[in-house]
Structure 1
Amino acid sequence: MPPLRRSRAKAMVATGVVRERRDPLEDEARFLRSWFERPLVTGAVTPSGKMLARTMASYVDPRVDGPVVELGPGTGPVTEALIRRGIAPERLVLVEFNPGFCELLRHRFPGVTVVQGDAYDIRRTLGGVLARPAAATISSLPLFTKPLEQRLDLLNCAHDLMQPGAPFVQFTYAVVPPIPARCEAGSYTASRSNRVWLNLPPARVWVYRRP
């Protein structure tokens, strides 16, 4: 880590924005245990790497007001990247199914709102939580474990809770998009990042917007 980034990380801990620095090895062990217990829910055996988390966070403009929703934050690598990006913790609404991860996130990121619930039923899970339309939704959910109809329903519901033109950001390890190209026409536009080769395994970020 370059000196500037190391200093910034220490400053985030010192000011209480992040209560403790993440230990990658401990987080990988947590993820692996969770995957063994619920493979279709966790979806990945390791947390997102720093470069992938940074790429996902780069699609969120901190100047746009409103809450930022994160689906499936796990141990918080993308959460940390969003805070580094300039998103105040108080703006972050994290939806996590795993109760152990929820407890960890509340401890690790003071000020964020952590909602334990089903991210695929986002309308019900966030009912009464969002005081205003969201500025963005960032998803680390394993979409390919769900049928296409359920993926599309999640995308529609997420956009219903967001401002017009707000991004729905989703990463995938696959070479094909999480929402197939034939579903991108009409109501949505889609763009993608370059493949993040420094992540293990390599991944790509897709961004869906609805006018």
Structure 2
Amino acid sequence: MAFFLEFVRDPLTVGAVAPSSPALARVATAAVPRTGSPVVVELGPGTGSFTEAIQRRLAGRGRHIAVEVNPRFAQRLAALYPAVDVVQADATDLVTELAQRGLRQTDVVVSGLPWAAFAENHQRDVLSAVVATLSPQGAFTTFAYVHARWAPPARRLLRSLQSQFEEVVVSRTVWANLPPALVYYCRRPLRPAGGGG
């Protein structure tokens, strides 16, 4: 109900009427390594469906930074997950937020953002921030609803992903989600000539 109320308040930043299912969370967070001490960034955690799955995979290792623009979601998330560094900010500010924490690169970025609700320039700016912060062997995961996969915003997102990552793999449909969804696994960001990394 809390999620639905936030959707009614601001559908362009919430972007869904219900939180992601545990099934979708498992698929979307599969790129988070179960070993080592990775830096994992979560964009648009909402009420924490992916947050919980990431925390389970990390099991106390590494760093988990969650970037949430909605102040009510951010406050609730910080209370529920004290081990997570919850940042109330726009995902386009990712480079700055990481720099303030002494970080230049991330190993995995998991996105729960409502891409279809974003204007083209906002999609581009968020994706640029992701690519700028991922390590050369880093992974980015995000999802799309199956029913909207062929809509212009979703097609634009897929084209952008394919132009900015060496590998983009699409998961099987996660039917146990409302609505059914699929996950894009993007690996090895492509940086422009002269760009760092």
Structure 2 distance, partners of 1:205, 1:63, is 22
- Which structure has the larger Rg over C-alpha atoms? 1
Tell whether the 8 Å contact from 1:90 to 1:112 is kept in structure 2 after alignment.
no
TM-score (norm 1): 0.78
Q: Superposition RMSD on alpha carbons, in Å?
A: 2.1
Establish whether residue 40 from structure 1 lines up as the match of residue 12 from structure 2.
yes
Unaligned runs of 5+ in 2: 191-197
| 8 Å Cα contact 1:42-1:142 kept in structure 2 | yes
For normalisation by structure 2, the TM-score amounts to 0.83
Distance in 2 (CA, whole Å) between partners of 1:192 and 1:123 is 27
Paired AA for residue 192 in structure 1? V
Partner of 1:170, secondary structure, is strand
> What per-residue deviation string (whole Å, max 9, x for no partner) do you get for residues 14-51 of structure 1?
xxxxxxxxxxxxxxx11111011111010011110010
Unaligned 5+ segments in structure 1 are 1-28
Paired with 2:172 and 2:13, the residues of 1 have a C-alpha distance of 26
Q: What does residue 60 of structure 1 align with?
A: 32
Q: Summarize the alignment of residues 98-109 of structure 1 with structure 2, pairs less than 5 Å apart.
A: 98-109=70-81
What amino acid is the match of 1:189?
E
Deviations 1:147-203 (A, max 9, x none): 334323322221211211211110111324562337614754211100101111000
Q: Does the 8 Å CA contact 2:98/2:104 hold for their aligned counterparts?
A: no
Q: Structure 1 stretches (4+) deviating beyond 2 angstroms?
A: 62-66, 86-90, 120-127, 129-132, 147-150, 174-178, 180-183, 185-189
| Identical columns (%) | 34
Q: Alpha-carbon deviation of 1:133? A: 1.5
Verify the 8 A CA contact 2:95 2:129 in the aligned structure 1: yes
Q: Where does 1:169-188 land on structure 2 (aligned, <5 Å)? A: 169-173=141-145, 174-176=148-150, 177=154, 179-181=157-159, 184-185=162-163, 187-188=165-166
Count of residues in Structure 1 that have an aligned counterpart in Structure 2: 183
